[in-house]
Amino acid sequence: MTTTVLIIDDSDTLREEILRSVRGASLFDTYLEARDGLDGFKTLLNNRVDLVLCDLEMPRMDGFRFLSMMRAREEFQDLPVIMLTSREDRETKIRGLEQGASDYVTKPFDTGELVARIRVQLKMKALQDELKRTNELLRKLSITDPLTHLHNRRHLMEMVEKEYQRAARKGGHLSLVILDIDYFKKINDTYGHPEGDKVLASLAEIVTKGLRSYDVAARYGGEEFVLLLPETPISEAYAIAERLRGEVQDHVFKGTLQGQVVTISLGVATYPSPRVESIDSLFRQADEALYRAKQNGRNRVELMAGGVTEKGTAGVQILVSD
């Protein structure tokens, strides 16, 4: 990955001197320049920058104001800024450090000192970036089912709580779909658990393919999956469930499972509804609908109690719902 430095100073001569110093040390791949804090901030907004060298005293916008605007934005919180100043008073340095400066270099600067301080800040930034990548990876692992790469049950429940509260606050719809693979035990017994895992992984791919960015798909346990569909009334949730049912039924497996037809049964529930007064009752209504789908022949979609439906050969068609 290329590294970029942004040099902000109103003196053309000083900028050229800084450029010679950092180029001679081969510290960066890209060099950006700005004449004052305002131009520097605009440049920062339009480019990925790894370190900023900024003069303290400049027209239009000085270094203090630049620091204040930069630290107000989350994406720049960890960006190192070395301030350049001819002032050596303690109060100025303290003020700059308190506003977010990473270090100070006094003008006229020593090239060796400037390069050394830049190296230190780049090394610290590299360590911080690696730590953030590690933390993000750990976060993803903590909320992800390792087999299907869908969200796990713990994260699902966190999202249900969040979306339920939002739907209650804004008066919107929140639909929940619970789906289960039909006769999954028979698949495991006939082909073995490794092949059963392939079925689970394939189902996860089918589930996620048609979801919106704000929908949540999770492995609820075993061969059971849950779809959380914000801003989705029951008619739309049914359409999503029915489409998914058909796609799973039509999926062509390869290898050992070639020719095997896998089907799913689905139960759909929606908030708000007279039958749903809590998250527990939302799950209970969807689970009861799933149970009816199993009882009524499998490979079908059933709605929560209260939905008026017309029975079909491989699912239901909604007429009205509460």
Q: Is 75 one of the annotated active-site residues of the chain?
A: no
**313 falls in which pLDDT band (50, 70, 90)?**
very low
Question: How does pLDDT run across 176-191, given as a tens digit for each residue?
Answer: 999 999 999 999 999 9
Tokens of 101: 């400066």
Query: Helix (H, G, I), strand (E, B), or coil: what is residue 8?
Result: strand
pLDDT of 107 > 60? The answer is yes
Tell me the β-bridge partners of 320.
308
Nearest residue to 241 (alpha-carbon basis) of 322, 177, 311, 320:
177
Q: What are phi and psi of 34, to 5 degrees?
A: -150, 150
For the chain, domains (ranges, CATH) are: 4-142 (3.40.50.2300), 153-320 (3.30.70.270)
The predicted-structure confidence for 23-40, as pLDDT tens digits, reads as follows 988 889 999 999 999 999
What number is the average pLDDT over the span 122-149?
92
Residue 65 CB-density burial (10 A; 0-12 exposed, 13-18 middle, 19+ buried): middle
Q: Which one of 223, 231, 247, 288 is the catalytic residue?
A: 223
Contact present, 82 and 9 (Cβ < 8 Å): no
pLDDT of 83 higher than 50:
yes
Q: What is the model's pTM?
A: 0.69
